[in-house]
Amino acid sequence: MKIGVDIDGVLANSLPLWVTELNKFFNKNKQLEEIHLYEIHKTYGVTFNELKLFLERKGRFLMSEPAPVTGSSYYLGKLKQHHEICIITARDKRYYQETYNWLKKNNLPYDELLLLGSHEKKEFCLEKDLKVLIEDTLEIGIKVSAAGIPVLLMDAPYNRGALPQLVYRKHSWEEIYRALASGQLTIK
């Protein structure tokens, strides 16, 4: 089976690092629970140009330094033994080397790495014939599941709410692994 896996919020515990750096850069005191990475400019009350300037200055650091999510290396390795892993991230292509190095440094195995530079993952999931996507952004999960692809949604403060069909909330990599290993999902 071909499994799609997001990076930030799924493999990388990026949010604490982002909040620290955004707070310093914009002189704010936001807490983790207030942050929604999908629309972070709104949370911080900044324009896209101001966010772009932040990323120009801090992007490489943000892509290189987050801690891995607990259990991600172990369970991704177990999945890789029996499945094809396609890492599909909204990260911009200019961060390819930082992303590649981070995955290698944290022993996160995969078969293919796609940096989309966009949150629009549905078409790529269909094109790559993914059978499931492991994701943390509810908006992405809704779009991908509407195309008939099940989504395992890594629980986070910014993705709470009712889930549509084919989106399954998981709280850890162990839960993700058990759901895939047990065949609990309806895979097309």
Spell out the domain ranges in the chain. Answer: 2-13+68-182, 14-64
- pLDDT of residue 71 exceeding 90, the answer is yes
What does DSSP assign to residue 133?
Answer: E
Residue 188 has pLDDT above 60, yes or no: no
| pLDDT tens sequence across 124-162 | 999 999 999 999 999 999 999 999 999 999 999 888 888
**Strand 2-5 relative to strand 132-135: parallel, antiparallel, unpaired?**
parallel
SS3 sequence of 4-64:
EECCECCCEEHHHHHHHHHHHHHCCCCCHHHCCHHHHHHHHCCCHHHHHHHHHHHHHHHHH
Nearest Cα to 162, choosing from 148, 142, 184? 142
Per-position b or e across 155-179, b if 16+ CB within 10 A of its CB? ebebbeeebeebbbbbeebebbbeb
Q: What span, in angstroms and rounded, lies between the C-alpha atoms of 113 and 128?
A: 12
pLDDT at 33: 83
User: Kind of pairing, strands 167-170 and 112-115?
Assistant: unpaired
What the block records as the tokens of 128 is 């790559």
Query: Which residue, 9, 13, 7, 50, is CA-closest to 28?
Result: 50
User: How do residues 22-60 score in pLDDT, each as one tens digit?
Assistant: 999 999 999 988 887 667 888 899 998 999 999 999 999
| Fold of the 2-13+68-182 domain | Rossmann fold (3.40.50)
Tokens read off for 110: 């995969």
Mean pLDDT of the chain: 93
Percent of the chain with pLDDT strictly greater than 90: 82
Residue 183: its pLDDT value, please?
76
Q: Which long-range contacts (CB under 8 A, 24 or more apart) does 27-31 make?
A: none
Positive or negative: CA dihedral 68, 7, 87, 84? positive
Tokens of 118: 């966009």
All residues at 6 or more sequence positions from 175 whose CB lies less than 8 Å from its CB, including other chains: none
